[in-house]
Structures are given as C-alpha cells and as structure tokens.
C-alpha cells in the first residue's frame, strides 16, 4: 500500500493533529516507510516449532498462575477513625445541617 498526502491529511484530521504543508512530505515518507515495514512482517512465516523463551534454565518449573486476593495491611477498619457496617464514617458538615 502506498501512502500519499491525502492519507496523511486524513490521519492527522482523525488524530486532531495540525499538519502544515511544510511537514507533509516528511510525514508522507515516514508513514509510507512504517506501512512498508509492516507489510514486510506479513511475509514472515510463523512456525509452530518455535520454542517459547523462558528465562533461566529450561528445566525450571514455573509456579501456577493463580489470582488470589491480596489483603491490605492493616485492614481499612483499622485505619479509619470511625467505621460502621463496612464503611468509613465521617462527621457531618455543618454547612449541610440546613439541608
């Protein structure tokens, strides 16, 4: 795919970036090179024979990835000046007394 000035203007418009006419040729060239590089990556074949990289020795066993809750130290109730039914309680603002 060849990138031209129209595509660069459209992308700049979508990204809400102001592009002057002086900057346009350089941006066209840069974006065209990026798209060309991505097109080259499409031609690379992916074999299923590739071994995944594991840092350290290959025989190292990895622990099971289990999501566990991390308790807070100390719990929120211990940090709160006042705590009731699982919520922080705060003094009522005097400005709210009339409401």
Confirm whether 38 is domain-assigned: yes
Confirm whether 75 is domain-assigned: no
Give pLDDT, residue 95.
67
Q: What are phi and psi of 83, to 5 degrees?
A: -140, 130
The total number of structural domains in the chain stands at 1
Angle at 30 between CA 27 and CA 35, to 5 degrees: 120
Give pLDDT, residue 96.
64
Confirm whether 88 is domain-assigned: no
* Radius of gyration of the CA atoms of the chain, in A: 29
Residue 97 has pLDDT above 70, yes or no: no
Q: Mean pLDDT, to the nearest integer, of 69-89?
A: 84
Confirm whether 67 is domain-assigned: no
pLDDT in tens, 29-66: 999 999 999 988 888 777 667 777 777 777 767 788 89
Confirm whether 23 is domain-assigned: yes
* pLDDT top residue among 58 and 4: 4
Confirm whether 32 is domain-assigned: yes
The residues near 8 (Cβ < 8 Å, ≥ 6 apart) are: 19, 24, 27, 28, 31
Confirm whether 33 is domain-assigned: yes
């Amino acid at each position: 795919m060849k990138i031209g000035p129209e595509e660069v203007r459209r992308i700049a418009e979508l990204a809400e970036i102001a592009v002057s006419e002086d900057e346009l040729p350089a941006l066209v060239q840069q974006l065209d090179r990026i798209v060309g590089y991505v097109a080259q990556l499409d031609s690379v074949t992916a074999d299923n024979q590739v071994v995944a990289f594991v840092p350290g020795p290959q025989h190292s066993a990895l622990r099971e990835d289990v999501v566990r809750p991390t308790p807070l130290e100390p719990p929120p109730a211990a940090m709160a000046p006042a705590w009731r039914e699982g919520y922080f309680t705060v003094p009522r603002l005097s400005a709210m007394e009339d409401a």
